[in-house]
Chains A and B, each alone.
Chain A
Amino acid sequence: MGLLSDPNRRRALTKLLTRLNAPICVMCYLAGVAWFMGLAFEPFTLRTYMSENAMGSTMVEERFPAGERALATGREFAAHKKKVGGMPVDWLVKTMQSRGLEVFTQSFTRKLPFPDENKERYMVRGTNVYGILRAPRAPRTEALVLSAPCSEGNNNNQAVGLLLGLAQYFRSQIHWAKDIIFLVNEHDLIGMQAWLEGYHHTNTTGGDWSPLQGRGGSIQAALSLELSSDVITSLDLVLEGLNGQLPNLDLANLFYAFCQKIGVLCTIQGKLQRNDWDTTSGYSHAAQTMMLMVLKQASGRPWGDHGLFLRYHIEAASIRGINSFRQYKTDTTTIGRLLEGMYRKLNNLLERLHQSYFFYLMPSLSRFVSIGYYMPAFGLLAVILLLRVSFHLWDNRGFYFYLTPSSPGVLSILTPVVISHMTGVALYTLPILSQEMAVQHFPVSETEAVVLTAIAIYTAGLALPHNTHRLLQGEGTEEGWRVLKLVALLYLAVLLGCTALINFSLGFILALSLVPIAAFITPHTPKALSAAIMVLLSPGCTLLYCVFVFQELQETPVSLQDGWMLFLSVISQGILDHALYGSLVYPLLALLIYPCWLLLWNILFWK
């Protein structure tokens, strides 16, 4: 008979699983971590290649000539920006019109839930200006977007100048099969969100914007340009978008192909590529690049203006010019040629980019790891939860323990679940709602009030088990915590599984910290030690460690003090991202992960 249908063999299998459960769990955890770290090892990765036939072997000689003129336009833009003290709308409209584009503007206002201290804004009012270059012979069914943000001070003037220079050059070509939209957005992401919502006639985040007068068809691809210096040494590609969504890998392949063709130094995560993969330092370099991408993806925030395009299924990336201390500089004409080449190839597209991967990790710009290779790392961690479920089901009681007469009442299980989730709801809603009250009673600004309220509610949850038991009559039974643990394990498994499907990095990082405590917490472990470990591995502290690790990887390590301030600003940014753009990390952590952790905390203090 078969392995699973023979009762004798089944009993032997379950006995094996229950006896060796802890060692298998530990091994799976170590294997998962090792698999993840091994992803950066070059022989396990694949070289990137162009998957789309339409973009494949075509090659064009790029002829963009007007880099200097673009810089002059950028200087003019800067002067007008200073004169107006914001976005020089009239000058931009006039300039775009003189270049032969159809120009439209969109005004928007947005009131943030609380002031943003990083960017110092609260009531945001702005205007987006965009010009459409109509394809000379094609119907107006498809479009490409090139955008540059209008930032304060001296940032991104050259980007706007290059955008206008390219607009003038593209206008004289007749081979465009798609409309090209040149967009200058104000207040970076808020303006971009308003523009995209206006373009697609949706309003998911409650902003207030004027409808768009002109449209260009369905957008196939978009590039966002950030250039703040006249010459650059390298171009950085930013891929991570909202909720950890990534553009199609073909866009990164396209960028890399052109970097190689034109001979510009290109980086990803600000790190150059290295050839010595077999040395320790080479491997650690690749691992650092990959970890940076993982942390950026896990944060769920858009890391460039392109990040908001992705949710409309528009492949988009940001290209950032970096001027460092290298000797070899690249001028604006070359950057213009690179963009011209990329847009000509995107022009040849017949369908949206879909041939290459949508889920991948990049240890360097020319190597990638696809979802089929990195998902087992998470799978190994998730399997630990299922192993523990099996352990608790079969431990010393055979199969049918839940039919024993002393089964716990539903109420004693439901109460911790309900209370945990209500705490989660409080963590989600109260910080913003109660900022007024907090500001009245304490000498803090609104942002600090929100963040500190959040931390306060989080810490208050630690005191819950005592209060829960005061509510319940009688004691919880021995069975009670087992059932609760089963529920918590399954709940966590489903939660982490769904998160990893959408945002692998977030799911993996949460799994790294939550799976060990979920696996081994029982009321019988030493209380003080377990409590300390639980707090140290809680989602909040995981976030704190991630902040420190991120700063280390960026080669700007911070002291404890600065790290703590950074942590507070990260929390406020997370809440703002959710309110402004619909990022799901904050609701996920507050409404689902934190209650799950509280359930485990309740199990620890079960009486």
Chain B
Amino acid sequence: MQAKAGQFFSSGHTNNWAVLVCTSRFWFNYRHVANTLSVYRSVKRLGIPDSHIVLMLADDMACNHRNPKPATVFSHKNMELNVYGDDVEVDYRGYEVTVENFLRVLTGRLPPSTPRSKRLLSDDHSNILIYLTGTSRWNGFLKFQDSEEISNVELADAFEQMWTKRRYNELLFIIDTCQGASMYERFYSPNLMALASSQVGEDSLSHQPDLAIGVHLMDRYTFYLLEFLEDIHPASTANMNDLFKVCPKSQCVSTPGHRTDLFLRDPGNVLITDFFGSVRKVEITMETINLTAPMVHLAVESELKTESQSYVDQLPVAEIIHQKPKQRDWHPPDGFILGLWTLILLVFFKTYGAKHLKHIF
């Protein structure tokens, strides 16, 4: 029993958070809201409570005037599964879903008046699941609400801020849009794993229309993801490699992609429930255990990367004061300066005639 105790503390996280974002509005984008609500439903079912879920929906499909079944959002045709349910708690709704709010939630820079339900109160032992869905016509951008975009660089920088502020232990990023893989290209913070529904240059397709409601209900990737998650229960031992196999090209038409190079542990050792559920490791025992000796990790050391991760120095004083930033690459002179000099030269030769040119060349 004492030996097993070592296993208890091997995963490193103590709480789970989820940030689920749907970025598009209008009735014909019903499927994006249904996507987000399906993941919300799975995550709640597997144990993450509403207080640890930040749900951002850009439009209200359930109460849209065009919904023939008000107060419902279906994910399967023939209205098999109502993912809206009775107890959905939307934290950011409608026009509150903006790039600024999303980044503020991630980095924690919210005004003091923000209620707790709208904050991501994670710490350095939190595993966070971030799910984004919407439309993206371009490579490297995700469109928020038809009027603004978030770029992959901004997202990567936000995650770096989260790492520096020790706001996560491990982070799983899932995105279901066209050209989704472009959004995780720029990540550079440790302990990030990313999944996308399509590669750069590919479109993510929607799954099935419902003939009574008159819209497409789900996107393919999330549809098959939901099917996969319906089989997961809190004690399940499915790992990330199974998740990567969800929705192969034959079902999805697009090629889902994933990125694990920034992640410390081997994906085969990472349980689905590490991110999607809030699983408490509880082992009931009638014996008493004396934990006197320091814990010996039974996990095989060689699986972990030996390179130790360290946090970046939070206040690099030496760099701020007394030191000019080292310019590592040579940048060509600014276009404006070039233009100005060309103008001066042209004026000079115009005034004094072209015959001076031959003295130069």
Contact among A53, A56, A59, A176 for B65, CB-based, below 8 A:
A176
**What 1/0 mask marks residues of chain B from 60 to 75 whose CB sits below 8 Å from any chain A CB?**
0001111110100000
Contact among A53, A61, A344 for B28, CB-based, below 8 A:
A53
Closest B residue by C-beta to A55: B28
Given contacts A137-B70, A344-B214, contact A57 B28 (CB under 8 A): yes
Task: Assess the A350–B26 pair: CB atoms within 8 A.
Answer: yes
Instruction: Say what secondary structure dominates the interface of chain A.
Output: loop
Tell yes or no: A177 within 8 A of B by CB.
yes
Tell yes or no: B224 within 8 A of A by CB.
no
Cα separation A177 to B65 with both chains bound (whole Å): 5
Minimum CB–CB distance from A158 to chain B (whole Å) comes to 28
Task: Assess the B26–A177 pair: CB atoms within 8 A.
Answer: no
Given contacts A138-B65, A175-B66, contact A348 B211 (CB under 8 A): no
Tell yes or no: A89 within 8 A of B by CB.
no
Task: Assess the A57–B68 pair: CB atoms within 8 A.
Answer: no
**What 1/0 mask marks residues of chain A from 121 to 139 whose CB sits below 8 Å from any chain B CB?**
0000000000000011110
Enumerate chain B residues within 8 angstroms of A173, measured Cβ to Cβ: 68
Enumerate chain B residues within 8 angstroms of A60, measured Cβ to Cβ: 211-214
B-facing residues in A25-64 (Cβ within 8 Å): 53-54, 56-61
**What 1/0 mask marks residues of chain B from 17 to 40 whose CB sits below 8 Å from any chain A CB?**
000000000111000000000000
Task: Assess the A54–B26 pair: CB atoms within 8 A.
Answer: yes
Tell yes or no: B226 within 8 A of A by CB.
no
Tell yes or no: B215 within 8 A of A by CB.
yes
Q: Which among B66, B209, B213 has the highest number of chain A CB atoms within 10 Å? A: B66
Contact among A57, A135, A350 for B216, CB-based, below 8 A:
A57
Instruction: Say what secondary structure dominates the interface of chain B.
Output: loop
Task: Assess the A57–B209 pair: CB atoms within 8 A.
Answer: yes
Closest B residue by C-beta to A139: B65
Enumerate chain B residues within 8 angstroms of A528, measured Cβ to Cβ: none
Enumerate chain A residues within 8 angstroms of B214, measured Cβ to Cβ: 58-60, 344, 348
Minimum CB–CB distance from A144 to chain B (whole Å) comes to 13
Task: Assess the A61–B65 pair: CB atoms within 8 A.
Answer: no
Tell yes or no: A347 within 8 A of B by CB.
yes
Given contacts A58-B214, A59-B209, A60-B211, contact A348 B28 (CB under 8 A): yes
**What 1/0 mask marks residues of chain A from 106 to 127 whose CB sits below 8 Å from any chain B CB?**
0000000000000000000000
Enumerate chain A residues within 8 angstroms of B65, measured Cβ to Cβ: 135-138, 175-177
Given contacts A175-B65, A175-B66, A175-B67, contact A58 B28 (CB under 8 A): yes
Cα separation A59 to B63 with both chains bound (whole Å): 20
Enumerate chain A residues within 8 angstroms of B209, measured Cβ to Cβ: 57-59
Closest A residue by C-beta to B216: A57
Cα separation A173 to B214 with both chains bound (whole Å): 14
Enumerate chain B residues within 8 angstroms of A347, measured Cβ to Cβ: 66
**What 1/0 mask marks residues of chain A from 345 to 368 whose CB sits below 8 Å from any chain B CB?**
001101000000000000000000
A-facing residues in B141-159 (Cβ within 8 Å): none
Cα separation A136 to B67 with both chains bound (whole Å): 11
Cα separation A137 to B215 with both chains bound (whole Å): 19
Given contacts A138-B65, A175-B66, contact A59 B211 (CB under 8 A): yes
Minimum CB–CB distance from A134 to chain B (whole Å) comes to 12
Q: Which 3 A-B pairs have the closest CB atoms?
A: A177-B65, A61-B211, A60-B214
Interchain residue pairs with CB less than 8 A apart (22): A53-B26, A53-B28, A54-B27, A58-B28, A58-B209, A58-B214, A58-B215, A60-B211, A60-B212, A60-B213, A61-B212, A136-B65, A137-B63, A173-B68, A174-B68, A175-B67, A176-B65, A177-B65, A177-B66, A348-B27, A348-B28, A348-B214
Could you list which residues of chain A lie within 8 angstroms of chain B, going by C-beta atoms?
Answer: 53-54, 56-61, 135-138, 173-177, 344, 347-348, 350
